[in-house]
Amino acid sequence: MVAGGTQFFFLTLPFRNTSGLARHLQRLPDLDAADYPAFLQEVRKRTQSGDSIAIFFPVRDWNEGYAYAYYRASYFLTGRRVIPLVAPDNSLRLESLRDAQYVAAWGKRLPDQYRAHAPSWEGSGGTLYRSVR
């Protein structure tokens, strides 16, 4: 029991260089979207509590990436109303754009012919659009 139950990894950790492990752990939640957290933090700085922000993400499959984008945005944009544009059944909810003061588009820009929101900031792989109405 002692041999099988002793946690040797943590026993040796204080004596090892942990900078590589720290970098790995910091990136782990966002391996496929490394700049996404930085983008969301900039969106947070440029919006106010109570603002409504729709999330535009290159992945449209809920279980294959959109849920991650929506939940991650909910965490970084607390106090704002985060609006998903994809439903759990993978159907698009583009009509929700009407309710959004902002659109946080990461990894893909909004189509050029879309005019209801205009770019207000760009960086960290994404663009923040603001409603022109």
Partner 1 sequence: MIVTVVALLTLVAIGVPAALALDPKARHRLLLAEAFLLGCGVIALALFFLSIVGVRWSLVALAIAALSVTAVLSRFARFSSGQRATGNGERIAAWAIDLMTLLIAFGHARFTTLASLGEWDFWAIWGLKARTFFERGGIDWDFLENPANTFTHPDYPLLLPLVMDYLTLARGAWEDQYLGLIFTLFGVSTLLIVRELLERETQRPVIAALGALALTSSVFAARPGIAEGPLAAYITAALLLLRIGWRDGDDVRLRAGAVMLGLAALTKNEGVALLVAVVIASVVFLRARWREVLKLWPALAIAATWLIPRALHQLPTDLFSGPTLSERVLSHLSTLPDLGIALAKHPPAQPVIWLAIVATLVWRARLAARRELFILTAALIQLIFYLGSYIVGPHEFEWHVATSWARLVSQIEIPLAFVAMTLLFADEESDARNIE
Q: Which residues bind partner 1 (CB under 8 A)?
A: 1-7, 9-14, 18, 21-23, 25-26, 28-29, 49, 67, 71-72, 74-75, 78-79, 84
Residue 82 beta carbon to partner 1: minimum distance, rounded to whole angstroms:
8
CB-wise, 18 or 118, nearer to partner 1? 18
Write the DSSP assignment of the chain as a string of letters. -HHHH--HHHHHGGGS--HHHHHHHHHGGGTT-TTHHHHHHHHHHTS-TT-EEEEE-S---IIIIIHHHHHHHHHHTTTSEEEESB-TTS-B-GGGGGG-SEEEEESSPPPTT--SEEEEEEETTEEEEEE--
Pick the closer one to partner 1 by CB: 12 or 113: 12
Least spacing, CB of residue 109 vs partner 1, in Å: 25
Residue 22 or residue 118: which is nearer to partner 1 going by CB? 22
Distance of closest approach, residue 18 Cβ to partner 1, in angstroms:
6
CB of 74 to partner 1, least distance (A): 6
Query: Residue 29 or residue 119: which is nearer to partner 1 going by CB?
Result: 29
